[in-house]
Structure 1
Amino acid sequence: MRASVRSLLALVRHELRLLVSLGLWVTRRRQGIGDGGTAFGYARGQGPMMFGFAFVCVIESLTMAVLLRDFPAVHRVVFMLDVYTVVLVVGMHAASVVRPHVLDAHFLRVRRAAHVDLRIPLENIAHVRRELRTTHERADGELNLAIGAQTTVTVELAEPVAHFTFLGRRRDVRLVRLHCDEAADLVQAVKRARTAPSPLG
């Protein structure tokens, strides 16, 4: 029972983040950049797919409206669910836009929409490279954050970092693959940040 409550709370938090992301997207703001942080987007390639999915949902809603026109109570319920589905689909794309990867003087913050947010200390990065991969098999200690089935940057860690899944389960990861629209720029920026003198030095 307790696990069910945690799962429900995780789902509610996720959907609230999507709704907040819609507001940020409409106002052209981004979340979590901070002073001195540099944002690296990853949503450019998924936009057409997400809006295509939203369009299919709209067509499905119109079809159901015709099929259920003689059942107004059922039609209202189904229509509300269809509208909410479209809002969530657009919200997922909005979350990807307003929650980019962020690099600052201390961390590489790796994100995917509203459900992954992993801070990797720069001193814990052993190697970073540009690497295009289109297949990703699940493996212990690896986190694959593909967009459109692709990752373009691979980050190897000297020590594992804790990643918490959507439902709160802890996974220790030593290798992270992610997608970045400007993969080469991100790789070079991480390498520069790792070799820069400490601001406290």
Structure 2
Amino acid sequence: MKAVGPARRLAEHELRLLVSIALWMARRQHGTRSGRAFGYARGQGAPMLGFGFVCVLETIAMAVLLRPWPAIERSVLVLDLYGVLQVVGMHAASVSRPHVLDDTSLRIRRAAHVDLSVPLDLIASVRRETRSTHEKREGELDLAIGAQTTITLELTEPIRHFTFLGRPRNVRLIRFHADEPDVLVRAIREMRTLAPAPRTY
């Protein structure tokens, strides 16, 4: 994957959020035609709804308070509506961009800002492991949903991951969340037995 600048990455992220809202409203999913989809957004639905409700209340309150100053009111209204759109977009992206497993790779995603393809022949082990605390360590990637990960993936060699603003990282251990971790772990193990033999150099 080629690195791109922070400004372009931010623009692409915003576009993915908008596309995700359209997909969510149409009850469609992105990138699932070639494989089996596994959701991860179930655990964050209620918190996201609550956060969105707070944002809407704040928008209404600020509109009332700033009514005597129309220019400021309009500016704040635009920012508040943008915040609401971000919340809706994040949840929509989480629903419409699930993990995808096919016969060659596992595509691990989190909303609109993480999309990492892991070749099956690089997976050394996969296990169900529920964690609610994560320490930042070199070579490890934690993709928690609601502060929790449920699957741990260990690789035979590092793969390249780019952070939100484009900083490259080599990761060899990935923890992520799935709504049905046991089902996904079992499916990965079954696919690994069908995948080509591990790479040798």
Give the alignment partner of residue 50 of structure 1, picking from 5, 28, 48. Answer: 48
User: Secondary structure at 1:69's aligned position in 2?
Assistant: coil
Structure 1 gaps of 5+ residues are none
Which residue does 2:199 correspond to in 1?
none
User: Secondary structure at 1:46's aligned position in 2?
Assistant: helix
Q: Deviations over 1:32-90 (max 9, x none)?
A: 1123x000000001011111111111111111111101001111111111111101111
Q: Distance in 2 between matches of 1:59 and 1:116?
A: 30
The runs of at least 4 consecutive aligned structure 1 residues that moved more than 6 Å come to none
Matched, 1:11 2:16: no
With normalisation by structure 1, the TM-score equals 0.93
Give the alignment partner of residue 169 of structure 1, picking from 167, 170, 190. Answer: 167
Which residue does 1:123 correspond to in 2?
121
Q: Distance in 1 between matches of 2:77 and 2:126?
A: 47
Structure 2 gaps of 5+ residues are 197-201
Change (3 A) 1:117 1:92: same
With normalisation by structure 2, the TM-score equals 0.93
Q: Deviations over 1:17-45 (max 9, x none)?
A: 1011000000011001123x000000001
Deviation at 1:116, TM superposition (A): 0.4
Deviation at 1:108, TM superposition (A): 0.5
Change (3 A) 1:73 1:156: same
User: Secondary structure at 2:116's aligned position in 1?
Assistant: strand
User: Secondary structure at 1:45's aligned position in 2?
Assistant: helix
The residue type equivalent to 2:94 in the other structure is S
Q: Distance in 2 between matches of 1:173 and 1:117?
A: 14
Which residue does 1:22 correspond to in 2?
21
User: Secondary structure at 1:62's aligned position in 2?
Assistant: helix
Q: Distance in 2 between matches of 1:188 and 1:21?
A: 28
Deviation at 1:6, TM superposition (A): 2.5
Q: Deviations over 1:2-27 (max 9, x none)?
A: xxx93222211111110110000000
The residue type equivalent to 1:169 in the other structure is R
Give the alignment partner of residue 95 of structure 2, picking from 94, 97, 102. Answer: 97
Deviation at 1:197, TM superposition (A): 5.9
User: Secondary structure at 1:153's aligned position in 2?
Assistant: strand
The residue type equivalent to 1:39 in the other structure is A
Relative contact order, CA 8 A, sep 6+: which one is greater? Answer: 2
Q: Distance in 2 between matches of 1:126 and 1:74?
A: 56
Seq. identity, %: 62
Q: Distance in 2 between matches of 1:69 and 1:145?
A: 42
> How many positions carry a matched residue from both structures?
193
